[in-house]
Structure 1
Amino acid sequence: MNRLEVVDKLPFGFYLDGSQVERILLPNGSAPADCEVGNMVDVFIYHDSEDRIIATSKIPLAFVNEVAVLKAKSLTSVGAFLDWGLEKDLLVPFSEQERPMSEGLEYVVYVFEDPETGRLAASTKLRDFLSEDGHDLETGKKADLIICGRTDMGYKAVINGTHLGLIFKDEVFKPLRIGQKTQGYVKRVREDGKIDLCFQFHSERARKELTDLIIDDLIAHDGLSTLTDKSPPDEITQRFGASKNAYKKALGSLFKQKRILIEKNKITLVK
């Protein structure tokens, strides 16, 4: 966003002092209701459909060098156009599409400025813009995630708008969809820099809290539970708010401590 001075008023809008690019048009439909000559206005600058530099007081759904979830409004001979909250839609050229896009669907995209034309565009080829090397990330750190893809191993996610990581299947204990915004943790950074993510960071404290919950649950049910390490993940999550993988590790720890007996169809508290 830019704060610019209104220097002239015309029937179709206002002119702003654009300094290096001279005067910039702010059309009536994009101007604040109380806009007058001499006012300072906060505006977003972009190219309109006729390639003119133009201003708007509307705030786009994404800025340059940001990741966003945007809906495809139309498909044309040059690419897909996304709704990003402005009069002119945002183009995803065919060359920037990971796979062919469909009208009406939402996509996780990266917004960039074309260095040759100065125009703004978007890309679904996130690997070209985001880092997959996590050596600069802190293990165990909470992160904002955007689910951006699915693989045989799990789900790919954008991390804090700057990196790409993977959530393995056994770390997923709730329904996920492409474009979903959620929070998670940097579980591990592998030797090759690849980033593993999780929804629960398995610290010593977290593990103890889960084992305590399991013992309390057994006591409340007369020392018996039919929720085993073979039970469906959603049943485990509903009762303990934990992933199946975390639950299995907690059961293993309690078994080693000889606090429980694990059988095929039940867990028994050792008295």
Structure 2
Amino acid sequence: MQTELPLGSIVTMKVLRKIDTGYVLTAFGEEALLHNKETEEQLEIDQEVDVFLYTDKQGKIISSARLPFITVGIYDWAEVVGVIPRLGVFVSIGIVKDILVSKDDLPLYRDTWPKSGDRLFITLKVDKKGRLLAVPAEEDIIANEVFAAPENIIHDKVRGTIYHTEKEGAALLTTEGYRGFIHHTERKEEPRVGQVVEGRVIAVKEDGSINISLRPLKQDSLDEDADLILKHLKDNHGTIPFHDKSEPEEIRATFQISKAAFKRALGRLLKEGKVKQENGQTILLE
């Protein structure tokens, strides 16, 4: 769609005429509909009004006097209000219409897509077909939004929102404005993009970013890991093909914990007489 009107932006337009459903506005020699539901005031012919421009499902240019907090080139957090697997997710930017974040701009695996209520740090763009889309911020934009973390926050608890996730780990922005990274070994499951997580700082890097762990401290996780092994035993008729010499990769794939954590928890269960090891297996004694 060819138009001189800057879709996804806020512009000043003049009221050309009134119609039953609202108003027809004009600027740059083009027209746009302002529906009654998109304005809270009565307008007069030739009155100038600031509006946000977008397109409807038929590709017609629509204006809104309800100005959004995100426009083309302006980034902010937007709440996810719907998920359609074949398309992507929809976010609210403060107007009647919800804006699509294409599945092409979301993680490959659906399990890590955001859910309704999650938040994404986005801006708007107009694609080659003239459609207005929301797009997540890339790393260079994130770099301009963050602050350097002080060195004295190691071991402090932090809360933040995931903005990128992959096999190696997940990146987040904390409420303090720090960029954080969660290595895959420091979590039990991969978080969603847009999910709010809480963890503890385990390192402050030279560039001011921080490394975060979602796992509890060793002394706190021992009971949890032991219970995890017991549950796995009960779910598998009291016998599992794991022992203190099992491969680390096999342990992590099954229990999402390190071999060291597995050995500590297994050692406790052995000491308490709840399990035994025999022929390369761990057997429940309860």
> TM-score, normalized by length of structure 2?
0.48
1:67-146 paired onto structure 2 within 5 Å? 67-98=76-107, 99-100=109-110, 101=113, 103-124=115-136, 126-127=137-138, 130-132=141-143
Identity of aligned residues (%): 19
Give ranges in structure 1 of 5+ residues lacking alignment: 170-176, 181-186, 199-229, 233-271
SS at match of 1:130: helix
Aligned equivalents of 2:16 and 2:130: distance in 1?
A: 25
1:14 positional shift: 0.9
Cα distance change, pair 111–158 in 1 and its aligned pair in 2 (3 A): same
Structure 1 runs (4+) deviating above 4 angstroms are 131-134, 136-140, 149-155, 177-180
Aligned equivalents of 1:46 and 1:164: distance in 2?
A: 33
Aligned equivalents of 1:167 and 1:102: distance in 2?
A: 18
Aligned equivalents of 2:87 and 2:166: distance in 1?
A: 29
1:26-65 paired onto structure 2 within 5 Å? 26-65=34-73
Q: Is the 8 A contact 2:204 2:210 kept in 1?
A: yes
Q: Is the 8 A contact 1:130 1:164 kept in 2?
A: no
Aligned equivalents of 2:39 and 2:102: distance in 1?
A: 29
Is residue 147 of structure 1 aligned with residue 161 of structure 2? yes
How many residues are paired up? 184
- The equivalent residue for 1:25 is 33
Structure 1 counterpart of 2:162, one-letter code: C
Structure 1, residues 41-89: CA drift from partner, whole Å, max 9, x if none? 1211111221211100112242223131312324152222223332221
Cα distance change, pair 133–61 in 1 and its aligned pair in 2 (3 A): closer
SS at match of 2:119: strand
1:153 positional shift: 11
Give ranges in structure 2 of 5+ residues lacking alignment: 1-9, 151-158, 184-191, 197-202, 213-217, 221-286
Aligned equivalents of 1:95 and 1:153: distance in 2?
A: 20
Aligned equivalents of 2:144 and 2:102: distance in 1?
A: 27
Aligned equivalents of 1:28 and 1:96: distance in 2?
A: 33
CA RMSD of aligned residues (A): 4.5
Aligned equivalents of 2:139 and 2:130: distance in 1?
A: 18
SS at match of 1:26: strand
SS at match of 2:37: helix
Q: Is the 8 A contact 1:110 1:123 kept in 2?
A: yes
SS at match of 2:18: strand
1:188 positional shift: 7.0
Q: Is the 8 A contact 2:24 2:31 kept in 1?
A: yes
Aligned equivalents of 1:45 and 1:197: distance in 2?
A: 41
Aligned to 1:4, which of 6, 13, 38?
A: 13
Aligned equivalents of 1:128 and 1:94: distance in 2?
A: 19
Cα distance change, pair 131–81 in 1 and its aligned pair in 2 (3 A): closer
Aligned equivalents of 2:125 and 2:171: distance in 1?
A: 25
Is residue 165 of structure 1 aligned with residue 179 of structure 2? yes
Structure 1 counterpart of 2:38, one-letter code: S
1:154 positional shift: 9.7
- The equivalent residue for 2:277 is none
SS at match of 2:68: coil
